[in-house]
Amino acid sequence: MNAPSRDLPIRAWTDHTRIPYALYTDEAIYRQELERIFYGPFWQPVALEAELPAVNDYKTIVVGETPLIVTRTGADEFAVMVNACAHRGVQITTEFKGTASDFSCPYHAWAYDNCGNLRKVPGEERFPENFDKRHYGLRRLRAVLWNQVLWATFDDATPPIDEFFGEVADSIRAALGGGERRLKLLGYQKIIFNCNWKVYMDNDGYHAGLLHTAFRMLNYQGGTAPLVADGFAGHWGAHYGAQRMVDNGYLADPTLVFTEGDEKTAAVNLLRPVTQVVKHLNAINFRFGRPLGPDKTEVHYTYLAFADDPPELLQHRIRQSANLLGPSGFVSIEDGSMFERVQKAMGAPGGEINFLKGLKDSPDGHRSLQNDEAGNTPWWRYYKQVMGL
């Protein structure tokens, strides 16, 4: 699995803190990432339990370049299937979300139940005698419901999910309310960033108070929380007590950045390969990402509340979610521009990305500070291994 490909432009890459530009721009690298990472031993988030509240609810999503159907088949049962008819490979449904107890291929009307079992085939009497519907179901992926998120993997070698996330699991739970309260879906925003998916995931705490105007204007400084990089592939997370905002006169309506209720925990997580889970103030934000080639990344921002929120708090979360942490929110509006400028600058031959801040005190990157970039390096160490570089 780890033997290097003859088609890749990287031959002697020894320092995982110095990343060659080609790893962000080369088409052959991207194609191998699909096989070894997106279809490899990784848990990929495919749905939030709150997105499919009732039996027979379904959604579609793409992992790597493979379309999937995710269905709720029982009170606590789900199925994740490749969205391709077992007959001629036709996409079964193109709807983002819906409710259905069965699915029918539009091409030849092969009918499947919501677990992917083939139930009806027109013209079956003229098929070969050994045709057996049991052998023509939709391909099912291994899946597990963990922390109100449904995770799936293409690879039987993917480790158990607690082992996969390691110590970062605590920070993920903190971002999603600690696991004691049920989540409620508020809505979505979708954006395409003009950058490689790894540029998007290289984002760190180092830049926050330097790049983001809102951090300075609203006194979002912080940066002293411990950041843990752990698990199977160098996920990282930090959770910490967030200070309540004080009106300093910059906003016409300062209540937008106030924290309502007793929520005092903030958390930020980067989960490999391309997922982010963030909670700040009253905003809860789960980001499903996927590559669209070497130089584009699509991200679905999914905004959440708690099912037992009173109406006034629910409205506050709706107002705060996109305005604070969305792709054009106060705290993140400059990120998209920086991602694109990084990607555009990668045409220089022999260039490389360098990770430095925090490595003095944490040379392995496993324990650093929230505003460091050392926490990105365990991922790149693993990336070298899984890509065979």
Q: What structural domains does the chain harbor?
A: 44-146 (2.102.10.10), 162-387 (3.90.380.10)
Q: Which residues contact 344 (CB under 8 A, 6 or more apart)?
A: none
As a whole number of angstroms, the distance between CA 271 and CA 44 comes to 9
Cα separations (Å) of 159 from 34, 79, 288? 19, 19, 21
> What number of CA atoms fall less than 13 Å from residue 60's CA on the CB side?
16
3-state secondary structure of 206: coil
Q: Are 110 and 91 in contact (CB under 8 A)?
A: no
pLDDT for 383: 96
Report the distance separating Cα 318 and Cα 269, nearest Å. 21
Tell me if 132 sits within 8 A of 178, measured CB to CB.
no
pLDDT for position 7: 62
Q: What is the pLDDT along the chain (389 residues), one digit of tens a residue?
A: 455 555 667 767 889 999 999 999 999 999 999 999 999 999 999 999 999 999 999 999 999 999 999 999 999 999 999 999 999 999 999 999 999 999 999 999 999 999 999 999 999 999 999 999 999 999 999 999 999 999 999 999 999 999 999 999 999 999 998 878 999 999 999 999 999 999 999 999 888 777 778 777 776 655 578 999 999 899 999 998 877 777 888 888 888 888 888 887 889 999 999 999 999 889 999 999 999 999 999 999 999 999 999 999 999 999 999 898 899 888 888 898 999 999 999 988 889 999 999 999 999 999 999 889 999 999 999 999 999 88
> In degrees, to the nearest 5, what angle opens at C-alpha 9 toward C-alphas 5 and 11?
70
Tell me what pLDDT residue 183 has. Answer: 97
- Specify whether the CB–CB gap between 58 and 12 falls below 8 A: no
CA distance to 27, 201, 278, 281, per residue, from 293 (Å): 8, 15, 25, 34
* Distance from C-alpha of 244 to C-alpha of 143, rounded to nearest angstrom: 38
- In degrees, rounded to 5, the angle at the alpha carbon of residue 340 between the alpha carbons of residues 63 and 228 is 60
pLDDT (0 to 100) of residue 222: 54
Q: In a 3-state reduction of DSSP, which class is residue 2?
A: coil
pTM of the model: 0.94
